[in-house]
Amino acid sequence: MSPLKRFRMGRRWFLLIPLSIITVMITTAVLAEFLTPYSSTEISLANRLRPPFWEQGGSLSHPLGTDPMGRDLLTRMIYGARISLVVAMLALLVGGGIGAALGLIAGYYGGRLDALVMRVADTTMAFPIILFAILFVVVLGGSMVTTVFAVALVLWARYARVIRGEVLSLRERDFVAQARVAGCSSSRIMLIHLFPNILNTLVVLLSLQVGWVIIVEASLSFLGAGIPPPTPTWGSMIAEGRDYIATAWWVSFFPGLAILATVLSFNLFGDWLRDALDPKLRQM
């Protein structure tokens, strides 16, 4: 077997690790009610700060221990995975949809419209994301809907810039000129001829931004500007354990590990998807 084939097979096997983590996250998020006998919000002070099962004082009834309120840590992490997944999915759909539409329109028409959209996108990207999201959440109040729109309002600019660059190249191709000669309207050219050609780029962007959205949502929850308690989120769980790092390290450690594993898995999957969908990289 040639070295190139061995390298490709190694990459395929390595991809199983992030795919397995992503699959576990999605499965636990969907089946959260059936995977644990505990409530994610019920307080039990008699069981507060129980250690993981392998440490003295721990038990298999709470495998990863409990938090300062006596809630099962594994249960809250499972429900937190659902929150992270839902926020990421909705924010990407809203922000990605708006950004792709504006990038498609700006790239096709060009001129002043293109300049206006790009200057707004530049301004949005220049503003600190966390500060912008905090101001948005503080003004409107913390909730899942507010968090989703706060992230989407910053996320759209990234999609708009990339999609606009793709459209600027595609609109000069022969098939677009032929569509104009055939009498196709601008909307038909954008939807039927241009959009399918940018779909691969859009899918790769979506996969690469999942981890970024999860980090932003966790950061907002950590700062108290995200989804309000008692709804479990990974960021708020880390914040709850920061005063117990020396005595109850597991309260912050395991949610942080979940964020690390999930974000890294989505980033690795996005890199692989980019290589798989790019014809130039496939030839290389």
5-31 residue pLDDT tens: 544 555 566 788 888 989 988 998 888
* pLDDT value at residue 153: 85
Query: What is the Cα–Cα distance from 162 to 158, expressed in whole angstroms?
Result: 7
Q: How many helices (H) and strands (E) does the chain have?
A: 12, 0
Q: What are the structure tokens assigned to 2, written together? A: 């040639």
- Domain locations in the chain? 14-34+70-283
d(CA 72, CA 47): 9
Q: Which residue has the tokens 């690390």?
A: 260
Single out the residue of 145, 86, 89 nearest to residue 136, CA to CA.
145
Please give the distance of CA 99 from its chain centroid, rounded to a whole number.
Answer: 16
pLDDT digits (tens, 9 = 90+) for 111-157: 888 899 999 988 888 878 778 777 877 787 778 888 888 888 888 88
Its sign, for the CA torsion 78, 81, 83, 85, is: negative
| Host H or E run for residue 30 | helix 3-30
Options 1.10.3720.10, 3.40.50.300, 2.60.40.10, 1.20.200.10; which CATH number does 14-34+70-283 get? 1.10.3720.10
CA distance 195 to 253: 43
- Encode pLDDT of 148-186 as tens digits: 888 888 888 889 998 998 888 888 888 888 888 888 888
Which residue, among 74, 84, 73, 82, has the nearest Cα to 30 in the 3D structure? Answer: 82
pLDDT-derived band of residue 196, with 50, 70 and 90 as boundaries? confident
CA distance linking residue 170 with residue 33, whole number of Å:
48
CA atoms within 13 A on the CB side of 205: 23
Q: Give the end-to-end CA distance of the chain in Å, rounded to a whole number.
A: 18
